[in-house]
Structure 1
């Protein structure tokens, strides 16, 4: 037993020596903060646009602001979790969520609302790497090599929130306007603070003595931010921004290869090809997932003339299908079969987008959502299990944060695609253009999943 595990054991001493289930409530509640803000916003973009007189290409920054902040914040906070332990990062992040919610409620202009979403992105970045750190520590203490049941519980809870998010957002908008989807963050933040202070252990991290690579974090943030600014408007006049991104990225690589305690150990990461493949699959999976969530929902409201509450209800079976699939397959740690089946169904669902229009019956749209829900239940959980098996234990927090970074990079690309294809509104023609892109992305995901032979070993020897 390591010194860290011994300290953890002395602090917690759970009955029966199994996984300390007192940790599950704060882990789950913290992890749902990001998906609930993502899913509620899907039905609020059109009302917010009307309120501020903004086009879909402008309200897309509400999506981009959250995910850009999260893409940067997840590995940064994950590295801090590795260095200083999970408790203080969890409490700081969840407190920031409440502050961001208040700013959103009072926002007088669109740019203030975007600032609120950026703060939400940073605030919601703490819980997931903190949870993965605690999972690894509990695994060392209990001897469970792969706590697939707990990982499945985290995944299912996020999908339950995805079920509740759109209809809840629609109901809140109907009851008091879009401001209420920001107000719900205040009680959620308070609950996280109470549970976190009560149940999370006062653990020190694994790498405090190594220091924190602040310059590396700054260069990483600059690289992603400049790249996203270009991606949201890839015209000739924006090429200097892309040059800045490339320059910051080059400086980041040089810095990380030369420093003794890098923010992202590129040498270790570069030698872990299976983990790199998992990050690539995560990126591709969530380009498809988020482009469908936001693009399809906006089209339902504008292209099919449905209300936000009705659009939210149409998405309900999609998330229900994702939950059912995760519940059935979640306790099995093997991942390759899940990824292959998920990618095949994903290709079929994206191709169906090319066949629908404003005259398509509602029941067909509901069936399409169910089809898309199947890969959402398989792909994310499979990649999460793969990361748990592939990442170095000493860098579990930052590795988990980086998995979320690739997830949100996918969301950022999805946001940029929606902005590009919906410049004239969420039309059927724009939806079909988006569908063609998603078929190509889903096809690439299928190729990567089938070609990765290392996946055959994941989970076979790690049954809990």
Structure 2
């Protein structure tokens, strides 16, 4: 008896009917897994901000040790994002998305049961690697749908992605404060379990199963990936403890970086094509702006939040709620300006907003009124909404389409470098306690960084034509 062909799954039949009915429409079933996967990293980056103090108290660890909970995540993600992004370019988003989501669930269980700080740090490392696939996969899906539909920018999907990925970082502290109030600091780790389950279900149902691979045998540049990882690990370890005693880490970073450059310029299948990247000056400037923007953003997220709890004497829940206006203003501006392709104006207004927010920190003290803290949050919402949107869209328009996943991952790497600089600066200026004097020193530092961001943007004329290609 002749075997009957296996019927396609329900989701595949739905996609086929939708494309036949309206082949120019963006497949909106992709939006849910794209958004869910993309928020995994920012929510874990930001939710820890209000958890550091309770974790330190519960596990008997000072701020210098709990800072590793921040550094561990960024160390893993800074390395993993471009690597996983390149794998997404080669093998498609589905398999990488599902593996990453599963790893997030494992990390959530491990963190929930962690008996001490070292185990909790391991859980954060696993979280870092597990959250690497979501954003490159989303950017790859947007590009593939753009090619299929023939639209350069498929509806408001880029705007939606920017809103969710850039403003979720502000929801994180608010959510973290509420979770701590309900179930203690372990609830902020356990939240990854239902998030991972949701991602696994959505990815299995709606992400396309097939991806057209390049002709010929695919070779991964393992020596290049190893040298890239060695460069970032040594550099980030130095940023965690920036002092003269650790000068050898900079030597290792320079040596590994030089070896990486030589390797990538000589191999026929590089992990990061430095020839293409070096010739794309607008994209390099976008990466530089990302580094500067997120030094300022994460200095507020970590330093300012810790000061609200220790310097101003607020509870974790109230500190989280005081950051809520950042989210409201940020998402409002992103929604209003998201459909406009112009990039330079967004970045200039965002730069001015950064400088204003940094200047306001200099006016704060241990008895500052709540209304002034709300004003700081409202002003900070301006760059939060505009900078992330413009930087993401810049990469979408400036990157090589064949390497959109790796380019999106590299954007996140520069974000994490900025986060690490901010974390190191926060630890250096605050010392054992987040007091007002340390906050003012941190404010002068980020004010200088924000000024440099403004200068780089002001003189970058390539932004006028980036979205018009």
The verdict on a shared fold, with TM-score over 0.5 as the criterion, is yes
Q: Which residue of 2 is the match for residue 377 of structure 1?
A: 385
Instruction: Report the counterpart of residue 48 of structure 1 in structure 2.
Output: 55
Q: Name 1:116's counterpart in structure 2.
A: 123
Distance 1:20 1:443 in 2: 41
Q: Deviations over 1:374-429 (max 9, x none)?
A: 11100111011111111111111101111111111111111111111121211111
Alpha-carbon distance in 2 for matches of 1:11, 1:415: 49
Question: Taking structure 1 as reference, are residues 12 and 275 closer, same or farther at Cα in structure 2, changes over 3 Å only?
Answer: farther
Match of 2:3 in 1: none
1:3 equivalent in structure 2:
none
Q: 1:84: which partner in 2?
A: 91
Alignment partner of 2:68: what SS?
A: helix
SS at match of 1:145: coil
Is 1:440 aligned to 2:436, yes or no? Answer: no
Q: For residue 11 of structure 1, report the CA deviation from its aligned partner.
A: 9.8
Q: 1:245 to 1:205 in 2, by over 3 A?
A: farther
Q: Kindly state the Cα deviation for residue 57 of structure 1 after the two structures are TM-superposed.
A: 2.0
Q: Distance in 1 between matches of 2:76 and 2:192?
A: 17
User: Partner of 2:260 in structure 1?
Assistant: 252
CA–CA separation in structure 2 for the residues paired with 1:330 and 1:410 = 24
SS of residue in 1 equivalent to 2:268: coil
Distance between the aligned counterparts of 1:118 and 1:190, measured in 2? 19
Distance 1:63 1:74 in 2: 16
Structure 2 counterpart of 1:456? 464
Query: 1:35 maps to which residue?
Result: 42
Contact 1:105 1:180 in 2 (8 A): yes
Q: 2:237 aligns with which of 229, 234, 245?
A: 229
Q: Give the TM-score, by structure 1 length.
A: 0.95
1:350 aligned residue: 358
Q: Which residue number corresponds to residue 169 of structure 1?
A: 176
Q: What is the CA-CA distance between 1:13 and the residue it aligns to?
A: 2.5
Instruction: Specify the alignment match of 1:61 in structure 2.
Output: 68
- Residue 168 of structure 1 deviates from its aligned partner by 1.7
Secondary structure at 1:32 match in 2: helix
Specify whether residues 205 and 359 from structure 1 end up closer, same or farther in structure 2 by C-alpha distance, changes over 3 A only. farther
> How far does the alpha carbon of each residue in 1:146-201 deviate from its partner, in whole angstroms, 9 at most, with x for none?
23610110111234533432222112112221011110101110010010000000
Q: Which runs of 5+ in 2 are unaligned?
A: 1-14
Quote how far apart the aligned CAs of 1:22 are.
0.6
Contact 1:226–1:241 under 8 Å retained in 2:
yes
Structure 1 residue runs of 5 or longer lacking an equivalent are 1-8
Partner of residue 132 from structure 2, selected from 125, 130, 133: 125
Picking from 147, 152, 155, the partner of 1:145 is 152
Contact 1:206 1:394 in 2 (8 A): no
**CA–CA distance in 2 between the matches of 1:172 and 1:256?**
45
Q: Which residue of 1 aligns with 2:313?
A: 305
The 5 Å alignment of 1:174-185 reads: 174-185=181-192
Q: How many residues align?
A: 453
**What's the offset of the Cα at 1:212?**
0.9
SS in 1 for 2:171: helix
Q: In the TM superposition, what is the alpha-carbon distance from 1:15 to its structure 2 partner?
A: 3.9
Match for 1:242 among 240, 243, 250?
250
TM-score using structure 2 length: 0.94
Determine helix, strand or coil for the equivalent of 2:292.
helix
Q: Answer with 46-55 or 281-290: which moved more.
A: 46-55
In 2, are the aligned partners of 1:12 and 1:201 still within 8 Å (CA)? no
- Residue 362 of structure 2 aligns to a residue whose secondary structure is helix
Residues 398, 439 of structure 1: alpha-carbon distance in 2 compared, 3 angstrom cutoff: same
User: Take 2:320 and 2:64, find their aligned partners in 1: how far apart are those partners?
Assistant: 21
Task: Identify the residue that residue 4 of structure 1 maps to in structure 2.
Answer: none
> C-alpha displacement at 1:444, in angstroms?
0.5
Measured after TM superposition, the shift of residue 203 of structure 1 is: 2.7
Asked if 1 retains the 8 angstrom alpha-carbon contact of 2:107 and 2:127, the reply is yes
After TM superposition, the structure 1 stretch with the greater mean CA deviation from structure 2, 205-214 or 315-324, is: 205-214
Inter-CA distance 70–207: structure 2 relative to 1 (3 Å threshold): farther
Distance 2:166 2:238 in 1: 31
Q: Is the 8 A contact 2:88 2:140 kept in 1?
A: yes
